[in-house]
Structure 1
Amino acid sequence: MQGSMINREMKLASQPEDLPEARHFAVVAGPMPVAGPDELLVRNRWFLVSASLRAMIARGAEAVKGVPFPVLRAGDTLAGEALAEVVAAPPGSGFEPGDLVIHFKGWRDYAVIAPAHCRKVDGSLPDPVAYLGHGWTAYAALTRGAGIRPGDTVFVSSGAGAIGSMAGPIARRLGAGRVIGSTSSPQKAARLVAELGYDAAVFRGARSIADQLAEASPDGLDVFLDSVGGEQLQAGLAAARDHARIVILGTLAGQLAAKGTQRRTTVELDSLPLLLKRVTIRGYSADDDPDAWDEWLATFAAWSKAGAIRFPHEIVAGLEQAPEALLRAIRGDTFGAVVARP
């Protein structure tokens, strides 16, 4: 019966050289995948539409060393984090039909996946889609990567993005004294303050980020979570206080540039403040601290039930609509995480 059913997948029609367009993607229908004796068959309920996908699909992506994402070529199915329901599971796998799991084979209706590549979720969150949030990345970066302390002034670049929209509220709950975000427009800057509780927000446009940040935080920064790089990394370093901690989570300034594949984010930094202020800069992935996952879920569940925090996101209905949502995310037209429902 499974083999007679249809499974839709979003394929990469061709690798873009510059920003991707709708023509680079195609929905392809085929037979239902058949699970092997040691595999799960899952039905995707939601999947993330992440601007970082550009780094996976760009022509020449295979030349980048150390990137944790799989490189995709023409004809490949797009990949991304998904929340799925188990349809069939082998005995002794630890999974049962009806279980909800997180895995990395989004952008399709059904997937076959090894149990070791799935993470079962416990149902503790009020809204299941929130399991796809990047709150645990922000939480781990703040608690492990930066070692946030009560009263810290925290700056979050890309504050309206999937990570940043969670990082600001989390920093506040962890005791930050002042939280500042950056974003792409004055409208989104206003939403950071009004909806997410940021104390101030700066945005790309008429004035430099450094000048705006100096006004928003005249006493300097203790913690900077940077997902952008470029001008914003320069500005954050210039505003750093003694013993400030800068945690690099992404390089959107390069990944989302309009021309070329832009897999380099070149920035000129003055090393003298690093020395004089004893500033720490480190690259960080939440995968470095897997213990943060369970701790974050327990914390998130408690905060959510108390109404102290939410999961900012947009939901896109239909697999066919997901590429346009991806292009909107790359342009900076979205707010919070973008989640598609096949």
Structure 2
Amino acid sequence: MSTNAESPASTTREWQLAARPVGWPKNDDFRFVERELPDLQPGEVRVRNTYISVDPYMRGRMNDVKSYIPPFQLDEAMTGGAVGEVVASRSDDLAVGDTVLHFDGWRTLAQGPAKNYRKVSKVPGLPESVFLHVLGMTGLTAYVGLLDIAEFKEGDTVFVSGAAGAVGSVVGQIARLKGAKRVIGSAGSQEKVDLLTGKYGFDAAFNYKDGDVREQLAQAAPEGIDVYFDNVGGDHLEAALKAFNNDGRAALCGMISVYNATEPQPAPRNLFETIKKGLTLRGFTVGGYYHRFDAFAAEVGEWLSKGDFVYDETVVDGIEQTRDAFLDMLRGANVGKMLVRVG
């Protein structure tokens, strides 16, 4: 058993869900509290979080409905991806000073069985925050969605919605590095469009707020698309169905356009395209693909080390700002991954 002395710090500051939102979440749907952690038990560790992740899927967890991941419980600490440093340990597997990746975000201090915390080795020249996006679940989501779900092939034309976000920006770069014929992205501002075609190497991009998505996609992909990576749903999915070539494949990763809807949204009006063109639309969540993590990390890690792969972070300072960072992310205020530096 580890002989590391327990850190005197035992007061965690955390965000709880105070009420289940209806439509867009309001400030008073959240509560910020302090509480004392219990003494460490054998096999447990205490972790001081350095970065925490806020992600679109968390909005769904605020609803009390059955899904692929349990909903947040009222009046309990919210959870999500986080990276931090072990500050106390009663485990032989993790020592004080280890950097760990885990799921106890939305708080300053996390505590639990060591098996819930995965040790990671820092990458020279990169901040540890990369384990929450390009070298973490965000990157893995992009990797398996494009390669396993959409079955990308060299020479494909790829369309990515929400392309300036954490997942979308990774998808586009993987497609380019894997030999896509053309990579097209949508985003919500001219600044993000310029980022896609400049820094991220997309061949074309458009601002979906500038006009009809179907028309803009048709102009960007005059020869049609073969793969669609969907982060938005709604009019973007409808546009992709229209633009698909025969035997096109879609990876349905997220549909942020409907997350805050209070009424059922209309389905794409052109689903007959799936029959006419022999399309495959396949939804997925990354939880069933952890076996692909080593292959993903090796390939993307090599691209990063060579300078072939780039990323952006939108970092908000202070655990007190987590709620606002989450709401801003839902509104599209982030470029790349939205993170909170705990401080």
Shift of 1:47: 0.6
SS in 1 for 2:321: helix
- Measure, in 1, the Cα distance between the counterparts of 2:91 and 2:110: 18
Q: Identify if the C-alpha distance between structure 1 residues 137 and 333 changes in structure 2 by more than 3 Å, giving closer, same or farther.
A: same
Shift of 1:187: 3.0
Q: Identify if the C-alpha distance between structure 1 residues 240 and 122 changes in structure 2 by more than 3 Å, giving closer, same or farther.
A: same
Q: Identify if the C-alpha distance between structure 1 residues 4 and 81 changes in structure 2 by more than 3 Å, giving closer, same or farther.
A: closer
Q: 2:19 aligns with which of 14, 23, 30?
A: 14
Q: 2:291 — aligned with what?
A: 291
Q: Identify if the C-alpha distance between structure 1 residues 4 and 293 changes in structure 2 by more than 3 Å, giving closer, same or farther.
A: closer
Say if 1:15 and 1:73, in contact at 8 Å, map to a contact too.
no
Q: Identify if the C-alpha distance between structure 1 residues 194 and 54 changes in structure 2 by more than 3 Å, giving closer, same or farther.
A: same
Say if 2:48 and 2:86, in contact at 8 Å, map to a contact too.
yes
Shift of 1:156: 0.6
Which piece of structure 1 moves more, 311-320 or 113-122? 113-122
Q: 1:228 aligns with which of 232, 239, 243?
A: 232
Shift of 1:86: 1.9
Answering whether residue 57 of structure 2 is matched by residue 52 of structure 1, we say yes
Answering whether residue 217 of structure 2 is matched by residue 213 of structure 1, we say yes
Say if 1:43 and 1:84, in contact at 8 Å, map to a contact too.
yes
SS in 1 for 2:229: strand
Q: Identify if the C-alpha distance between structure 1 residues 202 and 300 changes in structure 2 by more than 3 Å, giving closer, same or farther.
A: same
Q: 2:85 — aligned with what?
A: 85
Shift of 1:124: 3.7
SS in 2 for 1:290: helix
Q: Counterpart of 1:37 in structure 2: which amino acid?
A: P
- Measure, in 2, the Cα distance between the counterparts of 1:225 and 1:250: 9
Shift of 1:203: 2.5
Shift of 1:163: 0.6
Which structure 2 segments of 5+ residues have no match? 1-5
Shift of 1:157: 0.8
Shift of 1:88: 3.0
What are the within-5 Å matches in structure 2 for residues 159-238 of structure 1? Answer: 159-238=163-242
Q: 1:114 — aligned with what?
A: 113
CA RMSD of aligned residues (A): 2.0
Shift of 1:33: 4.3
SS in 1 for 2:290: coil
Shift of 1:194: 2.0
- Measure, in 1, the Cα distance between the counterparts of 2:186 and 2:67: 28
Q: Identify if the C-alpha distance between structure 1 residues 319 and 100 changes in structure 2 by more than 3 Å, giving closer, same or farther.
A: same
Q: Counterpart of 1:323 in structure 2: which amino acid?
A: R
- CA deviation profile, 1:223-274 (whole Å, cap 9, x unmatched): 11101111111111111111111010012111144xx3x6x55413434322
Q: 1:38 — aligned with what?
A: 43
Say if 2:84 and 2:101, in contact at 8 Å, map to a contact too.
yes
Q: 1:66 — aligned with what?
A: 67
Aligned residues: 332
Say if 1:5 and 1:32, in contact at 8 Å, map to a contact too.
yes
Say if 2:100 and 2:120, in contact at 8 Å, map to a contact too.
yes
- Measure, in 1, the Cα distance between the counterparts of 2:257 and 2:82: 26
- CA deviation profile, 1:318-340 (whole Å, cap 9, x unmatched): 00112111111111121111111
Q: Counterpart of 2:51 in structure 1: which amino acid?
A: W
Shift of 1:40: 2.1
Question: With structure 1 as the length reference, what TM-score do the two structures score?
Answer: 0.90
Q: Counterpart of 1:319 in structure 2: which amino acid?
A: I
- Measure, in 2, the Cα distance between the counterparts of 1:96 and 1:202: 48
SS in 1 for 2:198: helix
Q: 2:334 — aligned with what?
A: 334
Shift of 1:67: 2.9
Greater RCO, CA 8 A, separation 6+: 1
- CA deviation profile, 1:191-221 (whole Å, cap 9, x unmatched): 2212221111122224211110000001011
- Measure, in 2, the Cα distance between the counterparts of 1:174 and 1:310: 15
Which piece of structure 1 moves more, 171-180 or 187-196? 187-196
**What is the percentage of aligned positions where both structures have the same residue?**
33
SS in 2 for 1:98: coil
Question: With structure 2 as the length reference, what TM-score do the two structures score?
Answer: 0.90
Shift of 1:39: 2.1
Shift of 1:4: 6.3
SS in 2 for 1:149: coil
Say if 2:91 and 2:114, in contact at 8 Å, map to a contact too.
no
Q: Counterpart of 1:45 in structure 2: which amino acid?
A: T
SS in 2 for 1:328: helix
- Measure, in 2, the Cα distance between the counterparts of 1:221 and 1:242: 9
